[in-house]
Amino acid sequence: MFDGFTETRVDVGDGIQLRARHGGEGAPVVLLHGHPRTHTTWHWVAPLLVSAGYAVVCPDLRGYGQSSKPATTPDHAPYSKRTMAGDVLRLMQQLGHERFAVVGHDRGSYVAMRLALDAPHAVTKLAVLDSVPIAEALDRADARFATAWWHWFFFAQPDKPERAILADPDAWYGGDPARMGEENYADYRRAIHDPATVHAMLEDYRAGLGPDRAADEADRAAGRRISCPTLVLWTSRDDLADLYGDVLGIWESWTTELSGGPIDSGHHVSEDAPEELARRLDDFLRDALIRDVVDAMYGDNGSADDDLAVIRQAFGSWAHRELDGESWADKIRSGHRVAGREPSQPIGAGDSSSEDTS
State the CATH number of the domain containing residue 69: 3.40.50.1820
Domain membership flag for residue 335: no
Residue 204 in contact with residue 106, Cβ under 8 Å?
A: no
The rounded radius of gyration (Å) of the Cα atoms in the chain is 21
Domain membership flag for residue 25: yes
Tens-place pLDDT, residues 177-215: 999 999 999 999 999 999 999 999 999 999 999 999 999
Domain membership flag for residue 195: yes
What integer pLDDT is reported at residue 286 of this predicted model? 86
Q: Report the candidate in 354, 284, 287, 275 with the shortest Cα–Cα distance to residue 319.
A: 287
What integer pLDDT is reported at residue 199 of this predicted model? 98
CA atoms of 209 and 139, how far apart (whole Å):
12
Show the domain range for 206. Answer: 6-288
| pTM across the whole model | 0.85
Q: Point out the catalytic residue in the list 193, 199, 267, 336.
A: 267
Query: Count of domains in the chain?
Result: 1
Domain membership flag for residue 171: yes
Helix (H/G/I), strand (E/B), else coil: 108: helix
Residue 304 in contact with residue 290, Cβ under 8 Å?
A: no
What integer pLDDT is reported at residue 55 of this predicted model? 94
Domain membership flag for residue 11: yes
Domain membership flag for residue 308: no
Q: Point out the catalytic residue in the list 106, 118, 187, 212.
A: 106
Tens-place pLDDT, residues 313-335: 445 444 444 444 544 445 444 44
Domain membership flag for residue 341: no
Q: Is 106 among the catalytic positions? A: yes
Domain membership flag for residue 304: no
What integer pLDDT is reported at residue 180 of this predicted model? 97
**In which residue ranges of the chain is pLDDT below 70?**
288-358
